[in-house]
Amino acid sequence: MPTPGLDGYVEPWRKPEHDDLAELARTFFTKEVLPHAARLEQQGHPDREHYRRAGELGLLGLSIPEEYGGGGGDFTHEATLLHEQTLAGEGSLGIAVHSGIVTGYINDYGSAEQKRRWLPGLVSGELVGAIGMTEPDGGSDVQAIRTRATRDGDDYVVNGSKTFITNGILADLLVLAVKTDTSARAHGISLLVCELTGDPAGFRRGRKIEKIGLHANDTAELFFDDFRVPAANLLGTEGSGFIQMMQQLPQERLVIGVGAVAAMQRAVELATAYAKERVAFGKPLIGHQNTRMVLAEVATRTRVSRAFLDDCIQRHARGELDVATAAMAKLYLTEGQCEVVDRCLQIFGGYGYTTEYPIAKMYADARVQKIYGGTNEIMKELISRVL
């Protein structure tokens, strides 16, 4: 069933292969993951088996070359998968980080040996990936990180901590931002790939962070105390980490935008269906002018957002998505998500504030979209620099 207001709209980049992928993803999320939703929310993290199953179905590493087990596609395939995950209401699996971000770092900056070593495991779901940037004393100011890595023979010795790390509880492979030169800011940052299977000496997972939303998706603190990482696990060269992150952040922000638009579409679908069923003052809610006006406004905002997102996806597929436009996408689409979900929840009245209705969960889940991936205040700063 098409989203009201998007009837007949087809993404300009969409091909039959994307339709097949969407159907496969939809079936996986609705039939194999969602039946466990209540249990997953209670345990606070996804099942590792669901990552493996996604890997078996070919849903991980869609844009990774086939020689490493990937799908050989591009970002349009990743976007299709993430869109279907949000439309289905599945929020446990951190695929957006695992496949949308981590695999990209290794594929773009890893040596041939590093790619052979790590990408097949990420694609199969045997390894769960995470990225460690944020620290307790700093979020969006990446240049100010304090976690340091000191060279000692064939290893780096890492000391410090990270927080708000998506997939942190299950992560086997962590792309870690560290300071290899504490006298420099941006040019002192490097990226190390940390192998965490079995919780090696010097590494400790902290508490599972309790959040107001996304309860089934694990978010954790990570601690490093003389944790040794082979120098061979350096991504690229020393001091190139900040540039690498800046090059990857446009895709990370586009990943967030994909989820934002999908959430907007789902909210409009749910609110429209409810407005047609719910009777108040002797007629369905949609029979009241105010309800129709609200639905018209959120449907319009969603369609405009969809068109902007698709323009960004096409630009990114061509390698033309610049920092400012990616920041605009993250800003506009996440602000739109929070607004649309809020206004749709209002249509449900008191029921919208109860956890038995999906719109309530969507409301709680939406808020962090304006924070991670760089706060929306930072997005405005990035945009202003090109004006």
Instruction: Give me the active site residues, please.
Output: 252
Beta-sheet strands, E only, within 129-218: 129-132, 148-152, 155-166, 173-179, 189-195, 203-208
Question: What is the C-alpha to C-alpha distance for residues 334 and 371, in angstroms, rounded to an integer?
Answer: 9
Task: Give the residue from 14, 10, 54 showing the smallest Cα distance to 32.
Answer: 54
Long-range contacts, stretch 377-386, CB < 8 angstroms, 24+ apart = 377/140, 378/140, 378/327, 379/253, 379/327, 379/328, 379/330, 379/331, 380/327, 380/331, 382/323, 382/324, 382/327, 383/324, 383/327, 383/328, 383/331, 385/324, 386/324
- Could you identify the residue written with the tokens 């999320």? 29
Question: What is the C-alpha to C-alpha distance for residues 193 and 241, in angstroms, rounded to an integer?
Answer: 12
Question: What is the C-alpha to C-alpha distance for residues 165 and 220, in angstroms, rounded to an integer?
Answer: 5
Q: For residue 368, what are the contacts with CB-CB under 8 A and spacing of at least 6?
A: 211, 213, 214
The answer to whether 145 touches 133, Cβ cutoff 8 Å, is yes
